[in-house]
Amino acid sequence: MELFFNPFDNLVCILLGISFTVWFTLLLVFIIVPAIFGVSFGIRRLYMKTLLKLFEWATLRIERGAKENNHLLYKPYSNAIIAKEPTSLEEEIKEIRRSGSNRDLNSAPEFEMSDIFYFARRGVASIMDDEVTKRFSAEELESWNLLTRSNNNFHYISLRLTVLWGLGLLIRYSFLLPLRVTLAFTGVGLLVFLTCVIGLLPNGRLKNFLSQKVHLMCYRICVRALTAIITYHDSENKPKNGGICVANHTSPIDVIILASDGCYAMVGQIHGGLMGVIQRSMVKACPHIWFERSEVKDRHLVAKRLSDHVEDKSKLPILIFPEGTCINNTSVMMFKKGSFEIGATVYPVAIKYDPRFGDAFWNSSKFGMVNYLLRMMSSWAIVCSVWYLPPMSREEGEDACQFANRVKAAIARQGGLVDLLWDGGLKRGKVKDTFKEEQQKLYSKMLRPTWAPPD
C-alpha cells in the first residue's frame, strides 16, 4: 500500500513548529529570564503610558459625541465619602432641640419627643448613602476604559470608537489572554516542581537561599501573567524576619503583588485540589503556616503557632490581611485583633490599585475564582502602588484593638483610603447587636450622666 504525503500538510507542520519555537523563545528572553534576575525592559510601563493616551482620546470622543447627539453624558457616582467634621450624638441632639424648643439646654437632661428625629435622620441617611455595603461592589469609573459596554447609560458615539473597542477586544482575547494563561501555568508549574525538589535538601542556609530565589522567580512570572505594573515606595521599610506584615485586602493577587518583591511566610487554611497541591509543595521548601479546617476557629492554637514562628528570627515575616475579606480598594475596614496580640513588630503595607486599567477587586459573592482570574487576565493590565510604612510596635497601656486601629489608620492615610470602623464580616452577615447597644448606651448616658448601677 502506497502512502501519499501532501506537501501542504508538511508546510503547515513546519510553520506551526516555527511559530511555537518563536513564541517560547520570546517568552524565555523577554519574560522568564528577566523574572529570574528581577529586571525589566520597561515594556510594561511603555504599554501603560500608551493605554493612558488611548483612554484620554476615547474620553474626549465620548464627550464630543454626547454633545453632538444631545446625549446626557453618563457620570457614575463616586464611592468616595465627603469628609465631615465629626460630631457626637449629644451635640447633634442638642442642635435638634435648639431648633425646636425654647427650653434651657443646660437644665437637667430628660427625654424629648424631638430626639426621635435624630435616630430617624441617621437611619434614612444610612439607607441613602450606605458607606459599608458599597465597599463590597466594584468601584465605578468616571470615564470609559474600553473594557465593557455593559452599562446601559452609554450610547453609540461614533464608528471610530466602536471599531477601537472591537480591536481592543480582539487584542485582549486573542493575544494577551493566551500569553497570560501560558505564563500563569509556567509560573505555577515551576513553583510546584522546584519547591518539591528544594524540599529534598537538608535544612540550612543553602535550602533557605534557593527557596527564596525560586519563590521570587515564580511570583514574578505570575505578576507578568497579569501584566502587573507595580510601583514600590520606601523599600527601606520592607518587613524583616521575625515580624508580621499586615496589609489592606482587595484581591487574592495581593499575595503575588507583595511576594514578587520579598519573601513571606503565608498563613491560611489547608485546601484541596490544585490549591492544596501548591500549598503542600510550598511548605516543603519554606515554613508556611497552614491550618486544618477544625483548627481555624481555635484562637489560642492560631496565636500559639504565630508566636512560635515570629520568635524564630531566622524565619520569614508572616503575611496577614487582618480585614479577613476583600474590600473594593476605596477603604480599609476593621482589622481583626488576633495578629496584634502576639507582641511582634508589625510592618504595615498599603496597596492601592488603579481601576482605570482593570478592576482588581474580587467580589466573591458574584464571581468564582476561575471567573475572576479570567477577568483579570483579559483586562488591559493591573496597575498598583505599594507603600512600605515604618515598623510599628504596641505601646505601653495600648490594647490589641487600639493597636490594630492605629495601624489601620496609618495604612488608610498612606493609601488615600477611607478609614472605616465597620467589620468586613458584614459582607455576609448582619450588624451585631453590640453596635446597636452602643448607641443606646450613649443616649442613656446623655439622659442620666450621673447614674451608676447599684452595688
Residue 78 has pLDDT above 60, yes or no: no
Distance CA 70, CA 351 (A): 40
Q: What pLDDT does residue 121 have?
A: 65
Phi, psi values for residue 346, rounded to 5°: -105, 130
Segment 286-306 shows an average pLDDT of 76
Q: What pLDDT does residue 133 have?
A: 62
Tens of pLDDT along 10-22? 777 777 777 777 7
Q: What pLDDT does residue 450 have?
A: 45
Torsion sign (Cα): 33, 38, 42, 45: positive
Q: What pLDDT does residue 168 have?
A: 83
Segment 79-87 shows an average pLDDT of 41
Find where cell 501548591 sits: 278
Residue 2 has pLDDT above 50, yes or no: no
pLDDT band for position 149 (cuts 50, 70, 90): very low
Query: For all residues of the chain together, what is the average pLDDT?
Result: 76
Residues 6 or more apart from 54 whose CB is under 8 A from it? 146, 164
Segment 243-270 shows an average pLDDT of 89
Q: What pLDDT does residue 426 have?
A: 60
Q: What pLDDT does residue 443 have?
A: 60
Q: Are strands 228-233 and 265-269 parallel, antiparallel or unpaired?
A: unpaired
Q: What pLDDT does residue 138 have?
A: 63
Over pLDDT 90: what percentage of the chain? Answer: 12
Q: What pLDDT does residue 80 have?
A: 36
Q: Which residue has the higher pLDDT, 65 or 393?
A: 393
C-alpha closest to that of 378 among 176, 154, 198: 176
Out of 213-217, 426-430, 433-437, which region has the weakest mean confidence (pLDDT)? 426-430
| C-beta separation of 287 from 309 below 8 A | yes
Q: What pLDDT does residue 289 have?
A: 84
Residues 6 or more apart from 10 whose CB is under 8 A from it? none
Q: Are strands 346-354 and 318-320 parallel, antiparallel or unpaired?
A: unpaired
Tens of pLDDT along 346-403? 999 999 998 888 888 888 777 888 888 888 888 888 899 999 999 999 888 888 888 9
Residues 6 or more apart from 120 whose CB is under 8 A from it? none
Residues 6 or more apart from 230 whose CB is under 8 A from it? 223, 257, 260, 261, 383, 384, 385, 386
Residue 72 has pLDDT above 80, yes or no: no
Q: What pLDDT does residue 258 have?
A: 92
pLDDT band for position 75 (cuts 50, 70, 90): very low
Residue 30 has pLDDT above 70, yes or no: yes
Residue 343 backbone class (left: φ over 0; alpha: ψ -120 to 50; beta: rest):
left
Residue 253 has pLDDT above 60, yes or no: yes
Q: Which residue has the higher pLDDT, 328 or 258?
A: 258
Give the Cα-Cα-Cα angle 375, 178, 214 (nearest 5 degrees).
Answer: 90
Segment 213-240 shows an average pLDDT of 90
Distance CA 117, CA 147 (A): 45
Q: What pLDDT does residue 246 have?
A: 93
Q: What is the CA radius of gyration of the chain?
A: 27
Residue 153 has pLDDT above 90, yes or no: no
Q: Which residue has the higher pLDDT, 442 or 187?
A: 187
